[in-house]
C-alpha cells in the first residue's frame, strides 16, 4: 500500500489543556482537524520508527471513527505495532496499565473524561508517555507548536479494520493487535487487593452495594471484576452498558450528576456501600449508607489505612495532592512521618514524583485517587481499596470516616463549580483577585482574618520545571482557605471552581453538614471575588 501525503492548513486552536485536546465533536469533524493533531503528536515524538503504541478510548461518540484514522496514520508514519482495545475500548487507567506492562513507547487515549458525549457533545484526545502517564508540559507544548505550522499529514489508504475479535492483523508494515481491554487491568487489581476477603464480604448475604458505571467505560470492568471475579450480585451494577452518548447523562461521579445512585444510598434501608466512576474510568465517588466521603477525605483515609491492603502492606513512602485538595492528607503524612507534596491540578504533575519513588498515593479533590500501580488516577482501584478496607475492618463507611476524624481532625471541605460562565467575566474575576494581593493580608471578614493571598506556583522537585498561575489562594490565620481556579477540562465558556476548607479538631463539632460548617467562608468568597457580579450566577452549577 502506498502512503499518501495530504496537504493541510494549520488550525490555531489545538493547544492541549490539562488533559489533552478537548473540543465538541463537530470541531473534530472539520476537514483534517483530527488528522492535523494526530500528525502533530507523531511529528513531536523522537525515534518512533518501529515503536509500539497503545490506543483506545472511553467508547463515546466518534471514538471508533477516530481510532480507524489513527491506525492508518500510525502505519503511514512508521509505527511498528499498535495494541488497541477490543471495540476500541480502553479505560484511561487500563491504558496506563497496558503501556507499562508491555513497555510501549506511549499511547493515544481518546476521551473527554467526565464530559457529556454524543454527536454535538465533547470528544478528546491525549498522548500518554512511556511511563503510562499524561504527557508533561514540555511534550504538549511541542505538539502545540507543531500544530501551528503543520502543512501535511501522512495516512495509509486502507479499509477499516475489524476490531471486535482478539488477535493480530496487518496494516501495511504495521501490526495491529486487538487486546482484551479488561484482562491486564483486572490481573493488576488482583495483585494489589485481597480478593478473597472482598469475595467473602460481598457473598455474606448481608452486605449490599451499588456501583454506577454511568453508561460509560467502567461497565465491562465492573462486570468482570466485581461480578465475575468477586461475586457481587449482578443487580449491584447500575447503568453498566457503555453507550456512545452515555445514555444522555453527564458521566461525572458527584452528588449532582450521579443523583440516581445518591438517592439510593440516602434512602431508607440504603445499601452499605455505593460508588460511581466517570466516562473514562479514572474518577470515583464513594458513599456509605446515608454518608458521602469527600475525595479529599478518601485520599487521607486510604493513606492512613494503606498497610491493611496487600499491595501496600509495607507502608507508603509519601503522598501527593493537588493544591486545591484539602489538607487532610497532610495530617496523615505528618503522623506517618512521610512527605506530602502539593502540586498543581493535573495528574501529569504526579508523574515525576511517582517515577522517582517519592510518593505511593496521590489524589485530587476532583474525585481522582490513585497510586504508583499506574500513572493515571483510577476509579475502580479506589472502589476496590474501599471494599478491601470494609472487609478487613468490619466497620461501615461512616464509622471508618468518623474514626479518622477523631484521630486526625476533620477538614470541612467543599467545591463550588460555576460551569459555562462567560470567559470574559471569569477572567475579570481572576484579574480582580490578583489586583488585591497587596492589600488583602490583615483584612478581617467576620471571625476570619486573611493571613496571605497568592497565585500558586510549583517547582517540580525532580526536573525543576516551573508552573505558574495555578490557582489563587487566600489563607486565613486559623488555617482555613479559599481557592479560586479556572478549570481546563471544559469545552465551552469557562468553569470557575471555588474551593472552601476549614479545619475542626473538636470532635463535638465534627458532625455538621459541610455547607453549614462552611457558610461563613462561602459568603466571604463572594465578598472578596464578586462571584455573582462577574459570573452572573446566584448559585453554583455543582456543589461537591
Residues identified as active-site: 113
Residue-wise over 310-346: b if at least 16 C-beta within 10 A, else e? Answer: ebbeeebebbbbbbbbbbbbbbbbeebebbbbbbbbb
DSSP, residue by residue, 275-301: EEE-TTS--EEEEETTEEE-HHHHHHH
Nearest Cα neighbor of 251 from 385, 263, 243 is 243
Mean pLDDT across the stretch 371-387?
A: 98
> Where residue 489 falls among pLDDT bands split at 50, 70, 90?
low
Domains of the chain are: 4-181 (3.40.120.10), 185-408 (3.40.120.10), 410-543 (3.30.310.50)
Q: What is this structure's pTM?
A: 0.94
Of 431, 381, 410, the C-alpha closest to 226 is 381
Give CA–CA dist 537/425, Å, rounded. 11
> What tens digit of pLDDT does each residue of 104-152 get?
999 999 999 999 999 999 999 999 999 999 998 889 999 999 999 999 9
Mean of the pLDDT values across residues 7-33? 95
Sign of CA dihedral 508, 382, 295, 350: positive
- Convert the pLDDT of each residue in 440-474 to its tens digit: 999 999 999 999 999 999 999 999 989 999 999 99
CA dist 362 to 44, 318, 330, 365, Å? 29, 9, 11, 10
SS (HEC) of 411-461 = EEEEEEEEEEECHHHHHHHHHHHHHCHHHHCCCEECCEEEEEEEECCEECC
Provide the pLDDT confidence category of residue 488 given band limits of 50, 70 and 90: low
Cβ atoms within 10 Å of 284's Cβ, excluding its own: 29
Residue 281's pLDDT is what?
Answer: 97
Q: What is the pLDDT of residues 150-174, one digit of tens each?
A: 999 999 999 999 999 999 999 999 9
Share of the chain above pLDDT 90, in %: 93
Dig out the grid coordinates for 346 from the structure.
493535573
Average pLDDT, the chain: 95
Categorize the per-residue pLDDT at 51 as very low, low, confident or very high, splitting at 50, 70 and 90.
very high
- Closest of 329, 331, 287, 320 to residue 505, by C-alpha: 331
Which pLDDT belongs to residue 127? 97
pLDDT-based confidence at 343, cuts 50/70/90? very high
Amino acid at each position: 500500500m502506498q502512503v499518501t501525503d495530504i496537504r493541510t492548513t494549520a488550525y490555531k486552536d489545538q493547544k492541549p489543556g490539562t488533559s489533552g485536546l478537548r473540543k465538541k465533536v463537530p470541531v473534530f469533524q472539520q476537514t483534517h482537524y483530527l488528522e492535523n493533531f494526530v500528525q502533530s503528536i507523531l511529528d513531536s515524538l523522537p525515534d518512533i520508527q518501529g515503536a509500539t503504541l497503545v490506543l483506545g478510548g472511553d467508547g463515546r461518540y466518534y471514538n471508533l471513527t477516530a481510532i480507524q484514522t489513527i491506525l492508518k496514520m500510525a502505519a503511514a508514519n512508521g509505527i511498528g505495532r499498535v495494541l488497541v482495545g477490543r471495540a476500541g475500548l480502553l479505560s484511561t487507567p487500563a491504558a496506563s496499565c497496558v503501556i507499562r506492562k508491555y513497555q510501549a513507547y506511549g499511547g493515544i487515549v481518546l476521551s473527554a473524561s467526565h464530559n457529556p458525549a454524543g454527536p454535538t457533545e465533547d470528544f478528546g484526545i491525549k498522548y500518554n508517555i512511556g511511563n503510562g502517564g499524561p504527557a508533561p508540559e514540555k511534550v504538549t507544548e511541542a505538539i502545540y507548536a507543531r500544530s501551528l505550522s503543520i502543512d501535511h499529514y501522512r495516512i495509509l489508504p486502507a479499509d477499516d479494520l475489524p476490531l471486535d475479535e482478539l488477535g493480530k492483523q496487518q496494516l501495511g508494515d504495521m501490526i495491529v493487535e486487538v487486546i482484551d481491554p479488561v484482562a491486564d487491568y483486572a490481573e493488576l487489581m488482583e495483585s494489589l487487593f485481597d480478593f478473597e476477603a472482598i469475595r467473602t464480604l460481598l457473598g455474606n448475604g448481608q452486605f449490599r452495594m451499588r456501583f454506577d458505571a454511568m453508561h460509560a467505560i467502567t461497565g465491562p470492568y465492573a462486570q468482570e471484576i466485581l461480578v465475575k471475579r468477586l461475586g457481587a450480585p449482578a443487580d449491584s451494577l447500575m447503568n453498566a452498558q457503555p453507550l456512545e452518548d452515555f445514555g444522555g447523562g453527564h458521566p461525572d461521579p458527584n452528588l449532582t450528576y450521579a443523583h440516581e445512585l445518591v438517592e439510593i444510598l440516602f434512602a431508607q434501608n440504603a445499601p452499605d456501600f455505593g460508588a460511581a466512576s466517570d466516562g473514562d474510568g479514572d474518577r470515583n465517588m464513594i458513599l456509605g449508607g446515608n454518608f458521602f466521603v469527600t475525595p479529599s477525605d478518601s485520599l487521607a483515609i486510604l493513606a492512613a489505612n494503606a498497610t491493611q491492603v496487600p499491595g501496600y502492606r509495607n507502608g507508603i513512602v509519601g503522598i501527593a495532592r493537588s493544591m486545591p485538595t484539602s489538607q487532610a492528607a497532610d495530617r496523615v503524612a505528618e503522623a506517618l512521618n512521610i512527605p506530602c507534596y502539593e502540586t498543581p491540578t493535573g495528574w501529569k504533575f504526579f508523574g515525576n514524583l511517582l517515577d522517582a519513588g517519592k510518593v505511593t498515593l496521590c489524589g485530587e479533590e476532583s474525585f481522582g485517587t490513585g497510586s504508583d500501580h499506574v500513572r493515571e488516577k483510577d476509579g475502580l482501584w479506589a472502589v476496590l481499596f474501599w471494599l478491601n478496607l470494609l472487609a478487613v475492618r468490619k466497620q461501615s463507611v461512616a464509622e471508618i470516616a468518623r474514626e479518622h476524624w477523631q484521630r486526625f481532625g476533620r477538614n470541612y471541605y467543599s467545591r463550588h463549580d460555576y460551569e459555562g460562565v462567560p470567559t470574559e467575566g471569569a477572567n475579570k474575576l481572576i484579574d480582580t483577585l490578583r489586583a488585591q494581593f497587596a492589600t488583602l493580608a490583615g483584612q478581617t471578614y467576620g471571625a476570619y482574618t486573611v493571613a496571605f493571598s497568592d497565585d500558586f506556583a510549583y517547582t517540580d522537585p525532580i526536573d525543576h520545571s516551573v508552573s505558574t498561575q495555578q490557582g489563587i489562594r487566600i489563607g486565613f490565620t486559623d488555617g482555613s482557605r479559599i481557592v479560586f481556579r479556572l478549570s481546563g477540562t471544559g469545552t465551552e465558556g469557562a468553569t470557575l471552581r471555588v474551593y472552601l476548607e476549614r479545619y475542626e479538631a473538636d470532635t463535638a463539632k465534627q458532625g455538621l453538614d459541610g455547607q453549614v460548617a462552611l457558610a461563613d467562608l462561602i459568603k466571604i468568597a463572594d465578598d472578596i471575588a464578586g462571584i455573582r457580579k462577574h459570573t452572573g450566577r446566584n448559585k453554583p452549577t455543582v456543589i461537591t
